[in-house]
Amino acid sequence: MVSLTAVRASNAHISSTLPSGLVAIFVGGTSGIGEYTLKEFARLTHQPRIYNIGRSKQASDHIEVECKKLNADAQYTFIPADVSLIRSVDTVCVQIQAREKAVNILFLSAGTLVTGNETEEGLHLIASLKHYSRARFIFNLLPLLQAASGIRRVVSVQCGTKEDTIDLDDLQGWKVKSRDMGKYRGHSGSVTTLLLAHFAQQAPTVSFIHDFPGAVKSGIGRGTTGLVLVALTLLKLLGPLIYIPQQESVERHLFFMTSAVFQAREGLEEAVPPGVGVGIARGIDGVEGSGVYSADEVNESARITVEELLARFKKEGLVEKIWAMIEEEYKRIAKLPKE
């Protein structure tokens, strides 16, 4: 566990340590953790260029006004998109590529707990948002991340440290029922982490972080039914007792985004140096500073049993197998008739 005191001490040095003009892309930044973190990033950085990708212009307009109050020098751009669609992801990335030569931070938090819904492109909605869409953003924007002279980070907010058994016969989770959501979380967590490991092989100068935010008040439960709805209702009732405070979640996500504790495997980043008594985080291979991290709600790396499981998956070639399956869907979608 990284103490909240250490996290706050690190974040207090963001404005004096990081250069001006950082480019940060928030996918899913119109609500929940994405929104909270975006606004705090705007407040603490010099002349940031922030891209917010989401569906609600009304929510974005409100966020833009707040960002300008927090930092008059912040440049805020909203790109409306349904990021569950791979073609929409590609369109967004083309717009960003036309405007920017480098990207410092890609923050991915769009998601849902609804199962059984199919996107227009034939993907399971929950899997598209958790895996296919996020991987597509990384795939498209990786050259810009590698081109950044300062900090280079991908933060995927989902279920880091919860990795478990993978079902390759049901990669998208079509068979998942409400009662199976705990099991699916482990499957999904492993898929996400192994996808980050795939990209890290290509870009060792970029840091990849898969984190579990814990119980944070957000709108991710919209549209759920059955046992998932019951569980979320109970969580809402117990919220004041178990929710992680919004401000703490924000501070810990900024720490993921900016601290040298989560450094890339190679190259130098202009990250905030670790504070006194804070060591470099252990990567998923058990090695400090190895560039791919699975971490929990208190910025702690995954336990050794998870590292051993991921090592076995890598040895069995699951990184390559999963990426090949993802790519096949991209190729299929590319051949779909255009509207």
Q: What pLDDT, in 10s, does the model give residues 92-150? A: 999 999 999 999 999 999 988 788 899 999 999 999 999 999 999 999 999 999 999 98
Which of the 8 DSSP states describes residue 284?
T
Statement: residue 301 has pLDDT above 50:
yes
For the chain, domain boundaries = 4-330
What integer best gives the mean pLDDT of the chain?
Answer: 92
- The alpha-helical segments, DSSP class H, found in the chain are 4-11, 14-17, 32-44, 57-70, 86-99, 125-127, 133-147, 181-202, 226-242, 246-258, 304-315, 318-334
The residues pairing with 75 across neighbouring beta strands, listed in sequence order, are 49
Is 0.85 surpassed by the pTM of this model?
Answer: yes
List pLDDT tens digits, range 258-273: 999 999 999 988 899 9
Residue 228 pLDDT level (bands cut at 50, 70, 90):
very low
| Fold topology of 4-330 | Rossmann fold (3.40.50)
172: its two tokens: 């998208």
Q: Kindly report the backbone phi and psi dihedral angles of residue 272, in degrees, each rounded to the nearest multiple of 5, phi listed first.
A: -75, 125
| pLDDT score for 187 | 96
Q: CB–CB of 272/13 below 8 Å? A: yes
Mean pLDDT, residues 189-195 = 98
